[in-house]
Amino acid sequence: MTTAATTVDCLGLACPIPVVRLAKAVAAVEVGGVVELLADDPGARVDIPVWCRLKDQQLLARHDRPEGGWVFQVRRAH
């Protein structure tokens, strides 16, 4: 996994909060910086990759968390 500049914990939060918080965090890091998002809302599995495509940001990885949910890593592309 890539080292993240910041981690956004959205565990227990429903759509659209994870996407909103991811967008804010990506805007706050430098271009090339990585944001790690923790989410367990099932919608995040679809919403995060779609947001990355729509906003031309790079989804580096999605990993399952042993405790439930996922870790998404997003690199700010611009």
Of 3.30.110.40, 1.10.150.20, 1.20.1730.10, 1.10.3720.10, which CATH number belongs to 6-75?
3.30.110.40
Is 15 annotated in the active site?
yes
Give residue 2's pLDDT.
79
Look at residue 55 and give its three-state secondary structure: coil
Both ends of the chain: CA-CA distance in Å?
21
Catalytic residue among 5, 11, 13, 15: 15
Alpha helices in the chain (DSSP H): 17-28, 44-54
pLDDT tens digits for 18-54?
A: 999 999 999 999 999 999 999 999 999 999 999 999 9
d(CA 31, CA 27): 9
d(CA 36, CA 18): 11
Domain ranges for the chain, please list them: 6-75
d(CA 43, CA 29): 24
How would residue 3 be classed by pLDDT, with cut points 50, 70 and 90?
confident
